[in-house]
A and B are shown apart, each in its own frame.
Chain A
Amino acid sequence: MRSRLWAFLVPIVSVVIALLLASLVILFIGQNPITAYQALIRGAFGSKLSLATTIVKTTPLILTGLAVGFAFRAGLFNIGAEGQMIMGALVATTVGINMGSTPAVIAIPLTMLAGMAAGAGYAAIIGFLKAKTGAHEVVSSIMLNWIAEYFATYMVTVPLAVGMGTPKSPEIAPSAKLPPLLTVQATELTSGILVAILAAFVMYIILEKTTKGYEIKATGFNPYAAEYGGIKISQNIILAMAVSGALAGLAGSLEVMGVHHRFLGTLSGGKGFDGISIALIGQNHPIGIIFAALLMGSLRTGSNEMQFVGVPKHIIIIVQGIVIFLVAADRIVRTVLIRKRVKSQ
């Protein structure tokens, strides 16, 4: 129990330290950190619009965070969430465009599942290569990221292209669009957030309550003991990568179905890579990942408001960087915390 508490204390303390250090930077450039942070909070949560924007930005981050976190629990570093998200979005778009007059009750789950299946299949290639040939997942997933990116660019510039300007696909059928929970001005608060939270819940159940979860975690902790205990390592590697990819693919589907309603060349925009830092901050735990994604999403949304009071929005990149550094080097934070406790005793 205590170790789990520690696991969550470290990221929280890291955020506090990061905000303090960033406020020094703000002071250096001659601004008031309190004003800046007030603007940041206002920008992220201060109005219906800002709240909706924050949630829209958080939704895909939760899913890519879960994708990377799930793979981590199996001892795999899925750096390919970006590519899996692109493939998921692309296939969801293709299916969504062709939904025509299909009723929403069928079109929505079908489109969503198609995107998940694409992500899962794409990630399973990585798992298969690792299980059968020993190819390191980092190398093969980086390669597959590029393949996905160029393939998607080709698809929206040639076969699926519509209109002028930025390469983009046609809109998906109305029945395949996710119904918004709330519409503020032009921003639709998509119901995708509910799907993302549900996904976190499902991941929690799989990891903590099922026999497969036991096997996947054992494989991640100690593959030798897992094999000795009758766990088929290669099977679990492929499965864990597929689940991870399905989550990333779902991130892509939801972006298409709930936000853009079409495939855009810039749709993923590094969110797959953000998943790595989010999984790290969230300590690979589903609940932790939700909050880590919310942190990232709100920092990004709020930073625009911060810009208005004269503090460059890039400050939040400093905050992000310090948080990741401190969580990765959690020994530093633990030492600080233990020192404090010793002193107070």
Chain B
Amino acid sequence: MENAVEMIDIVKQFPGVLANDHVTLEVRKGEIHAIVGENGAGKTTLMNQLYGLLQPDSGEIKVFGKTVNFKGPRDAISVGIGMVHQHFMLVSNLTVAENVVLGSETMRGIVFDLDRAKKEVKELSNSYGLLVDPVAKIEDLPVGAQQRVEIIKTLYRGAEILILDEPTAVLTPQETEELFEILQKLKESGKTIIFISHKLNEVMEISDRITVMRLGKVTGVLEKKRTNTREIARLMVGREVVFRVKKNPGKFGKTILKVENLWVKDNRKLDAIKGISFHVKEGEILGVAGVAGNGQTELVEALTGLRKPEKGRVIFLDQDVTGKAPRELRNLGMTHIPEDRHKYGLVLQYPAYFNMILGRHFKEPFSVSDFLNQKSIRDFAEKVFKEYDIRPDDIRMLGANFSGGNQQKLVVAREMSAEPKVIVIAQPTRGLDVGAIEFIHNSILKLRDAGVGILLISMELEEIFTLSDRIIVMYEGEIMGEVLPQETTIEEVGLLMAGHRLEEVRGHVS
């Protein structure tokens, strides 16, 4: 069969990251080709090069057999490539028809021919089942319909090859079903579709062939008919463990944090957490595994007081703390290493010594009768800087001027030195080098051995396996199963991450 797209030996280097490391991708004409991999595997970078948004450092791109050299998306569009981005590029106060023709408006003389635009949009939407009202305003449309407009837009510009970047990330399950029907229709009419995803069940449902990426490299090209989610999960998460820390046998105390039937909505008012329950004991690390975007962020925010849960209870130290504000939770002894250190973790414009007391700034000895005690603040910061080896050793430097790793250390040091009883840790080592990772892992284990209850949320399976005493796996806001690290395998957890329940997985095994 003829290849619609060939990307041969593509290399793309970003400062500090090799985003694509000699990647080769072949997409056949008329197939639905999935590209799967974890966040940061290099999927979107690869597609941005195919769409002309980025230029490869080396390698060759062929479209329908002809070598191309795109300087921008316009070049890519002209040979029939269309891309639907994760974040829609629509003008929200214009109508569907206006958005579709924007940039290539049909003209009648010098006047914009809106009627023709409407007609053409109508025809396109009818022939592929892309149901939208051409005169509706974008802002009045649900997300799924906005996505259909994006697809119509690419078709209007003559796309033969459609790239969809995580199209289902923003959709409800019903909308996802509708999208898949549309993709099937497009395929039947001879279009080629490249589908980026990290949701394995969707990949198995819709695609013909699958390219798996991990850390910038292709780890496998599979025919859907001859593979299964287990194999994909293994290729996606890899097996090698790059670091090892020594872990003492656990001494678990009484249950210190308990979550009962918790329901949380996300920013779009959809259920992100659907009635989950779990508990953490003193001196225990409970790992929460899962692909990004399966409710982990909302869970952390609900537990730490940054988001109000809809239903359910959170019990901390035998008190009902559901919906309590961050200040009250901190006063009770819960601290939090947030996943986004720039958004939540630091006040970048504050010097390090001020950042070091955030969350405790209102307590003695840092605040004495409503005045800041500069000396004790600085002494404390000096001490913590030494203890956690934060560099450069200058507590007056602004938060913004530290390197990413040292910013993370600032946050970790602050939250750990606050003598927590429970600490919620999200993505503690994202973007850090191996040395810093090891340091942070050892710090986490030290807290555990001191009897602190720890909830560890991470996308890194190695991290979860190395540190956790127990593991729960989240998928679409639910817990797929609870496993012990010494009794499970990465493959098994990978399957749970892909939406299989523990019972059915174990059922297959035995």
Contact = CB atoms under 8 A, between A and B. Distances in A.
Interface of A: 209-215, 217-218, 221-222, 224-232
Contacts of A210: 370-372
Contacts of A211: 361-362, 367, 370-372
B48 to A, nearest CB: 28
A231 B347 contact: no
Contacts of B325: 230, 232
B374 to A, nearest CB: 8
Interface stretch (B158-166, B211-219, B336-344, B497-505): B336-344
A209 B327 contact: no
Contacts of B331: 230
B434 interface: no
- For A210, A217, A228, the residue with the greatest tally of chain B CB atoms inside 10 Å of its CB is A228
B345 interface: yes
Given A229-B359, A230-B327, A218 B350 contact: yes
Contacts of B344: 224-225, 228
Contacts of A225: 343-347, 358
A197 to B, nearest CB: 22
- 9 tightest A-B contacts by CB? A230-B327, A229-B358, A228-B344, A211-B367, A229-B359, A221-B349, A230-B326, A230-B330, A221-B347
- For B304, B327, B336, B347, the residue with the greatest tally of chain A CB atoms inside 10 Å of its CB is B347
B347 A215 contact: no
Contacts, number: 66
Contacts of A218: 347, 350, 358
Interface of B: 304, 306, 325-327, 329-331, 336, 338, 343-350, 354, 358-359, 361-362, 367, 370-372
Given A228-B336, A230-B362, A222 B348 contact: yes
A230 B324 CA distance: 11
A212 B344 CA distance: 19
Contacts of B361: 211, 214-215, 229
Nearest to A3: B398
B67 to A, nearest CB: 43
A215 B361 CA distance: 9
B122 to A, nearest CB: 38
A228 B372 contact: no
Contact of B326 (A213, A221, A227): A227
Contacts of B354: 214
Given A221-B347, A221-B349, A228 B371 contact: no
Nearest to B338: A228
Contacts of A226: 347
Contacts of B371: 209-211
B306 A227 contact: yes
A242 to B, nearest CB: 17
A210 B374 CA distance: 10
Nearest to B362: A211
- For A213, A225, A227, the residue with the greatest tally of chain B CB atoms inside 10 Å of its CB is A225
Nearest to A222: B347
B348 A228 contact: no
Contacts of A215: 361-362
A232 to B, nearest CB: 7
17 contacts: A211-B370, A211-B371, A211-B372, A214-B354, A221-B347, A221-B348, A221-B349, A222-B346, A225-B343, A228-B304, A228-B306, A228-B344, A229-B326, A230-B326, A230-B329, A230-B330, A230-B331
Nearest to B301: A228
B190 to A, nearest CB: 48
A266 B412 CA distance: 57
Nearest to B346: A225
Contacts of A231: 327
Contacts of A230: 325-327, 329-331, 359, 362
- For B344, B358, B367, B371, the residue with the greatest tally of chain A CB atoms inside 10 Å of its CB is B358
A59 B424 CA distance: 52
- For B330, B348, B350, the residue with the greatest tally of chain A CB atoms inside 10 Å of its CB is B350
Nearest to A226: B347
A73 to B, nearest CB: 11
